[in-house]
Structure 1
Amino acid sequence: MTQQPKAPHSETIWDEAETWSRDHIESFQLNALRRQLARVQQTSVHYRKVFAEAGFEPGDLKSLDDLRRLPFTRKSDYVAGLEAEPPFGSLAAVAPGEAVRVHFSSGTTARPAPVLWTQNDIERWADLYARYLYAQGLRRGDVFQCMFNYAWFVGGLGATLAAQHLGALVIPASSGDTERQIETIFQYGSQCVIGTPSFMAHMAEAAEKMGRDLTTSRVKMVCVGGEPGASIPGTREKLERAWGAKMFDCYGALECQPIGWDTALQLGPTLAEDFIYVEVLHPDTHEPVADGERGVLVLTHLDKQACPLVRWWTGDMVVRDSSVAPDGRTHARLKGGVLGRADDMLIIRGVNLFPTAVEDIVRAFPGLSNEYVLVIDGSVKDPKTGFLTGVKLRVEPDAQATPDVGERLSQRLREKLQVRFHVEVVPPGTLPRTVHKAKRVIYE
């Protein structure tokens, strides 16, 4: 990055945009959307077609409500775009040579999906992350130990860039090597650590076995993302007690970095409303819901260059609170973080898993019927945290099945989806059949 760390706006606020009035936010969003929609119509093959089919011109956007004339963009659209315009897809909105980085999904589909970034995208990303880390309490000169995985996972490099941008001293530790992580915390005085909730829980357990008391370390901030946890009161309380530090929810997705992070007040992830336009919609009617009511989060980028999204259906169920926070921040918050999914997506050790990704593999695997079911029970959950550590898969053999079909399928799934599967091969005819929507995830 060429951009230098900037001076924060105040002792508690990184960017004055965090305190804009609601009227200012909405005026900014409307003007930004007009520019963004005009740009994506010109540069994105996918959105040029979408706009034409909807009979929509960017100049038609007279109010924020007019955006609802456009259809949602779903993961299936992104995947179809990759097939239509390989290798980076029809949603991409930059010419070859304009992008400087590509990050990939891990496990969302059987084929990793790429997302491009321009230099401006990266600098915007780093500054937004720095805003949130500053809001949580990280300061210039603090020691920041990043324990997100750097292999393919987008969060590791994003967090590293943000902490550097803020002026912290970064230890890019990655995940794993638990004992060294713990010794590093004590030896170098790490004040902020970041990783998945499940890894932070593992770290706390490992430290106890080593006879090291994390509450005596200098860690004051435990930032977590990649899976639910920090906004779940029981999990937050347990990990804060184990670490002797505040725990903060950091919510983002590969396609939209960031969405919203906790501030020091821990009132729920604060949305980056100068970066994304946010809709919260009823999962069935797709009508807007009022603040305080559950709905699906739908996002539109206001200035993303390389892979902009318009009305991205996240599938995450949330509750929005648009009231001004006690610290003066005016951007809306998600009370309780992500409350669940509007579909069957699972999050396993930070990897997003859709049943359709499993279906692609199961149905192409020799020796199996077309039926399968994913089972979530106590055997695939961490007994202390409740986080998923794997998934149970039930399949049926066909006449060509070999005795080791389950073992071979488990290996293939782990290789392709980066998730641990416990495969149960049940007798033919055991699994339910349906002529409507098959229920692929069951809870026992």
Structure 2
Amino acid sequence: MTERASTPYSETIWDEVETWSRDRIEAFQTDALKRQLASVAERSAHYSKVFADCGFDPRDFRSLEEIRNLPLSRKADYVKGLAEDPPFGTFRAVDIADAVRVHYSSGTTARPAPVLWTDHDINRWADLYARYLYAQGLRRSDVFHCMFGYSWFVGGLGATMAAQRVGALVIPGGSVDTERQIDTILEYRPRCVIGTPSFMAHIAEAALRRGVDLASSSVEMVCVGGEPGASIPGTRERIEGYWGARMFDCYGALECQPIGWDTAAQLGPTLAEDFIHVEVLDPDTDDPVPDGTPGVLVLTHLDKQACPLVRWWTGDIVVRDSSMAADGRTHARLSGGVQGRADDMLIVRGVNLFPSAVEDVVRAHSGTTNEYALVIDDSMKDPNTGMLRTVTLRVERSNPSDNGLGEALKSALKAKLNVSFNVEVLEAGSLPRTVHKAKRVLKE
């Protein structure tokens, strides 16, 4: 795909591709996939072997359904490829001389993994990102305060490039120095801020301790990504209340940036279907599920050059809606955003439990701070089956004299989730704060 000019298509739409018919989207994806799969087969050592092993010839590709003839790709495959051909791995599909950027995973559960970009990939990324910021309401005259991390992380530079492409004035604040972030908001009056939900909540709490009410600030847009939050009703309500601003879900991943973002309508992240082909699969059978049914999001790049992915298993549980949105956008949306991760799901006495569901209950309760943790240890398991019988929730109370918080949360969690929790109530400030991605499930 050729690079487009950095000017909006209309007053509300960044790129006319956002209004293509479903037939046109699918025809475009079919043609793009045929080219992409042929390129991947030739240039990526990993996919060249995968295609040969399953007898797939890209020249025979005729319809989107045929992509299901290919095996899924998972993070473990990517990590294995890094070990086989260090330092950039077997998924790589360009010479190192043709790559211009590398970002890394957070490394919270394994060694940080690198992902490469070419100049084409960078420009594509920036334009897609700009499309979504524009859809949320960012404009040329705005000040954009970026509080994503810049060191190693993919978020900060991506947001900066996109906001600059829209024409906004960017403040690259990063995710450090809380007091200076607050001072910057007060002095330079950004209309839009962006960061992780945890950091946005942390900034708001710190401001209140200083006697600063950010709901009275210049901020009208709070964009968040990197962890669940904006699509969790309790979290959205709480952070929008802190900031007196609308909060938008910005969904991406290191390996695939971006995936989809909220528009101004806040109907759930709208997918970039001219950049990715999307499948939603049953997590147990790998069979496709219909719109409206939860499943795991699986992505295939349509024109990524440096580190292309084919049938990438994100592990994220989503619900797709392919109907046209009220604003005329035709790309499918993820209703309710990411509802959880398949590998984070807990089964407690036969009930499927996602941490995001617990977060919704905790954040909706006015007596809690923003921090909580789910704790699991062997004492919580049935000695005969090994299945969880309960889970411990550690939560902070915002009012030191609120002695009924534990029982109130137990009742609310049982009523909404049908799971019995042990609730440990701690004083405010007891749990660690984070400026990056919060870890909510602790195994002791």
Report the TM-score range of the alignment, normalised by the length of the smaller protein: 0.7 to 0.9
Residue aligning to 1:17: 17
Unaligned runs of at least 5 residues, structure 2: 346-353, 357-387, 399-431
Residues 27-38 of structure 1 mapped to structure 2, 5 A cutoff: 27-38=27-38
TM-score by length of 2: 0.78
Residue aligning to 1:340: 340
Residue aligning to 1:368: none
Residue aligning to 1:173: 173
Mean alpha-carbon deviation: is it higher for 292-301 or for 183-192? 183-192
Residue-by-residue CA offset, 1:235-291 (whole Å, 9 max, x unaligned): 101111110110000000000000000000000000000000000011111111000
Residue aligning to 2:221: 221
- CA 1:126 to 1:383, structure 2 compared with 1: closer, same or farther past 3 Å? farther
Residues 227-246 of structure 1 mapped to structure 2, 5 A cutoff: 227-246=227-246
Paired residues, number: 366
Structure 1 residue 302, shift from structure 2 partner: 0.2
CA distance in 1, matches of 2:152, 2:100: 16
Residues 146-161 of structure 1 mapped to structure 2, 5 A cutoff: 146-161=146-161
CA distance in 2, matches of 1:421, 1:170: 29
Residue aligning to 1:364: none
CA distance in 1, matches of 2:253, 2:173: 21
Q: Is the 8 A contact 1:275 1:303 kept in 2?
A: yes
CA distance in 1, matches of 2:102, 2:355: 22
- CA 1:382 to 1:38, structure 2 compared with 1: closer, same or farther past 3 Å? farther
Residues 36-435 of structure 1 mapped to structure 2, 5 A cutoff: 36-344=36-344, 377-379=392-394
Q: Is the 8 A contact 2:227 2:438 kept in 1?
A: no
CA distance in 2, matches of 1:155, 1:294: 27
Structure 1 residue 419, shift from structure 2 partner: 8.7
CA distance in 1, matches of 2:174, 2:439: 24
CA distance in 2, matches of 1:143, 1:193: 9
Letter in 2 for 1:241: G
CA distance in 2, matches of 1:74, 1:7: 36
Structure 1 residue 203, shift from structure 2 partner: 1.0
Residue-by-residue CA offset, 1:83-134 (whole Å, 9 max, x unaligned): 1111100000001200011111112542111100001100100000000000
Q: Is the 8 A contact 1:160 1:172 kept in 2?
A: yes
CA distance in 2, matches of 1:227, 1:282: 22
Mean alpha-carbon deviation: is it higher for 199-208 or for 247-256? 199-208
CA distance in 2, matches of 1:341, 1:263: 23
Letter in 1 for 2:68: R
SS in 2 for 1:76: helix
Structure 1 residue 378, shift from structure 2 partner: 3.1
Residue-by-residue CA offset, 1:165-199 (whole Å, 9 max, x unaligned): 11100000001211211111121110000000011
Letter in 2 for 1:9: Y
CA distance in 2, matches of 1:138, 1:420: 27
Residue aligning to 2:412: none
Residue-by-residue CA offset, 1:33-64 (whole Å, 9 max, x unaligned): 00000000000000000000010011221110
CA distance in 2, matches of 1:199, 1:305: 33
Q: Is the 8 A contact 1:136 1:248 kept in 2?
A: yes
CA distance in 1, matches of 2:438, 2:257: 26
Letter in 2 for 1:66: E
SS in 2 for 1:97: helix
Q: Is the 8 A contact 1:376 1:442 kept in 2?
A: no
- CA 1:320 to 1:443, structure 2 compared with 1: closer, same or farther past 3 Å? farther
Q: Is the 8 A contact 2:74 2:312 kept in 1?
A: yes
- CA 1:303 to 1:108, structure 2 compared with 1: closer, same or farther past 3 Å? farther
Alignment root-mean-square deviation, CA: 2.5
CA distance in 2, matches of 1:382, 1:62: 56
- CA 1:242 to 1:298, structure 2 compared with 1: closer, same or farther past 3 Å? same
Q: Is the 8 A contact 2:316 2:340 kept in 1?
A: yes
CA distance in 2, matches of 1:47, 1:108: 27
Letter in 2 for 1:139: R
- CA 1:106 to 1:347, structure 2 compared with 1: closer, same or farther past 3 Å? farther
SS in 2 for 1:202: helix
- CA 1:81 to 1:280, structure 2 compared with 1: closer, same or farther past 3 Å? same
Letter in 2 for 1:52: A
Q: Is the 8 A contact 2:196 2:437 kept in 1?
A: no
